[in-house]
Structures are given as structure tokens and as C-alpha cells.
Amino acid sequence: MVEKLVSAASKRAFFAGKYVYQQVSALGAAPAKRILFILGCQRSGTTLMQQIFDADLNARVYGEFSEITLTGRTPNLRLRPLDEVKDIIERTPARLVVAKPIAETQHALRLLTYFPGARALFLYRHYAAVASSNLKLFGRLNGINNLRPIVDGDTNNWRSEGVPADVRALVLRHFREDMNPYDAAALFWYVRNRFYFDLGLDASPDVMPLRYEDLLREPAATMDGIYRFIGMPPCRRGIPLVRPERGSRGIELSAGIEALCSGLLRRLEAATGCKRRAGH
């Protein structure tokens, strides 16, 4: 208990000092503000990436539940209207603004257009690890619950927004209320990560794909590359937060779902390699 209290007090002191630092730094002729959006599928390491940037004195991080989201009384992952988000960002004294509107991944192009000069990090992770983590955290039926709005064509649910007709047809072909829960979670992984190609993000120089496992294996080099992509000097203060992945991916998927996900993972890895060779 004492250690937790000390840790909480240390965090509050750090963020208080960080706020003062940013306010003072903003008094001078500061360089242009940089904006980075963290996108992808839930349980893909986006929270760790958020925490790493939080350790940067020059960064202001807005998570899924923050001033830029529609929190209100009921937690809501959705962004506020973009004019309100822009106003909040413009008032922020930080040189780097990092936002994690993960439920808005399907609107990546809209975000990049509305905020000229912004960049996006598309984080992905092995589908078996994501499916396992998803059900462990949110419950055994969460994958099925995530797919249901797509099956129903619910236009008011972020899970089904922007899903291409062929992807929805694929979900309809595989979906059953009593389907293997891991198949459902992996299929939702497929839907969310398909946006990288369906939106043409693979062709955008403003979007950097990143495999979560690469961050775990080479955290310093990976973060240095991300800062180069953003156009800012690297910060390694958050590197100690990176820990080896725990647990195994020992889940059973049907042959059809396994083939779908493994094929998409290979495409993502190939696209990552192409962008890396091109210097993006």
C-alpha cells in the first residue's frame, strides 16, 4: 500500500512538473506543434505506446477517456466534434500532441485531412495474442459482441462504421452466436486491421505501421524511428516501461479464421518492410 501511494505521488509530481515545463517552454519561439494519432485494433499495445509518450516532457497525451473524447457520465470512446478537438489541441502548450482515438481508426483519413501535417501510427500485434488478451480482459463473449454490430449493420456503432461490403459479407459468412469465442475475437482483429489497406493507409507517407512485437524486441531503436517519423528529437525516458510479453498464444482457431488472419498479418508485415525500406 505504501509503495502504491509513493508511486501515485511520484506520478502526480512528474505530471505537475511536466505541465509547468511545457508552459514555460511555450513562452519562447517554439517550433511548430506536432500531432500524432495512435490507431489500430484494441489490445495491440496502444496503451503501452501512450504510456511511453507520457514520459516525454514535450508531449501531451490524450487517451481514450480524456478531454478530447465524449466521456460525460458514461465512458465513451468517441471523439468530440473535430472543431472542438482542434480547439483543445491548439490550447495545449506541448510541442507534441499524441492522441489515441482508437475507436476512430476507420476515420484515419478524415483525421489526417482535418489536421494538416499530422501523422498516424498504425499499431498491430499478432492476432492470437490480441484475441487472447481481448477475452481475458473483457470476457469470453467480447469477440462475439464486437462482431454483432457489424452483422446487424448498426450504423450508430463504431465497430461497424466504414466496414467495406466485402468485409461485412465475410463476417456474415463466419458469424454464429455460438461460434468459437477466439474465432470471433480474431475475426474482429481482421476487420479492424483491414482498414490499413481498405483506407489506402499503406500508400500514405503520413502513416507508419508498427508491429508491437518489434517494440518489445528493440524498444530504443523503435522509438527513435517513431520520433524521426514525427520529426522531433528522440526521447527514451519511457523505454523502461517496455517489458517482455507474458503468456503464450496457445489458442485454437478454425482453419478458415486462421488462414484469414495469418494472410492479413503477412500483408501487414510486408507493408511495414516496404515503408521501412522507403524511409517512412
CA–CA separation, 133 and 93 (whole Å): 35
Closest by alpha carbon to 272, among 230, 213, 224?
A: 213
- Average pLDDT across the chain, whole number: 91
CA–CA separation, 2 and 236 (whole Å): 28
Say which residue the cell 483525421 belongs to. 111
User: Which of 52-61, 115-124, 223-232, 244-253 bottoms out in mean pLDDT, i.e. has the lowest?
Assistant: 244-253
Examine residue 7 and state whether it is found in any structural domain, yes or no: no
Residue 3: pLDDT above 80?
A: no
Residue 248: pLDDT above 70?
A: no
Q: How many C-alpha atoms does 217 have within 13 Å on its Cβ side?
A: 6
Q: Are 275 and 210 in contact (CB under 8 A)?
A: no
Examine residue 204 and state whether it is found in any structural domain, yes or no: yes
Residue 72: pLDDT above 60?
A: no
Residue 14: pLDDT above 90?
A: no
User: Which of 20-24, 89-93, 256-260 bottoms out in mean pLDDT, i.e. has the lowest?
Assistant: 20-24
Examine residue 21 and state whether it is found in any structural domain, yes or no: no
pLDDT tens by residue, 94-141:
999 999 999 999 999 999 999 999 999 999 999 999 999 999 999 999
Q: Are 41 and 103 in contact (CB under 8 A)?
A: no
Examine residue 18 and state whether it is found in any structural domain, yes or no: no
Residue 31: pLDDT above 80?
A: no
CA–CA separation, 237 and 271 (whole Å): 29
Mean pLDDT for the stretch of residues 45-62: 95
Say which residue the cell 496502444 belongs to. 46
User: What is the domain extent for residue 256?
Assistant: 31-278
Which pLDDT belongs to residue 23? 78
Mean pLDDT for the stretch of residues 255-270: 98
Closest by alpha carbon to 132, among 174, 181, 178, 171?
A: 181
Q: Are 143 and 186 in contact (CB under 8 A)?
A: yes
Which pLDDT belongs to residue 120? 98
Residue 17: pLDDT above 60?
A: yes
Mean pLDDT for the stretch of residues 52-57: 96
Q: Say what percent of the chain tops pLDDT 90.
A: 78
User: How sure is the predictor about 247, in pLDDT bands with cuts at 50, 70 and 90?
Assistant: low
Q: How many C-alpha atoms does 95 have within 13 Å on its Cβ side?
A: 22
Residue type, 166: D
Fill in the DSSP letter of residue 148.
Answer: H
Examine residue 16 and state whether it is found in any structural domain, yes or no: no
Residues 270, 109, 134: CA angle, nearest 5 degrees: 65
User: How sure is the predictor about 8, in pLDDT bands with cuts at 50, 70 and 90?
Assistant: low
CATH of the domain at 232: 3.40.50
Please report the DSSP string for 128-139 in residue order. Answer: HHHHHHHHHHH-
Which pLDDT belongs to residue 70? 84
Task: Please state the domain count of the chain.
Answer: 1
Which pLDDT belongs to residue 24? 78
Joined together, the cell numbers standing for residue 215 give 517494440
Which pLDDT belongs to residue 9? 59
CA–CA separation, 81 and 230 (whole Å): 24
Examine residue 245 and state whether it is found in any structural domain, yes or no: yes
Closest by alpha carbon to 264, among 39, 41, 37?
A: 41
Residue 2: pLDDT above 70?
A: no
Which pLDDT belongs to residue 26? 72
Q: Say what percent of the chain tops pLDDT 70.
A: 90
CA–CA separation, 70 and 85 (whole Å): 11
Residue 4: pLDDT above 60?
A: no
Examine residue 25 and state whether it is found in any structural domain, yes or no: no
Examine residue 10 and state whether it is found in any structural domain, yes or no: no
pLDDT tens by residue, 79-88:
999 999 999 9
Alpha helices in 56-164 (DSSP H): 82-91, 108-114, 127-138, 142-152
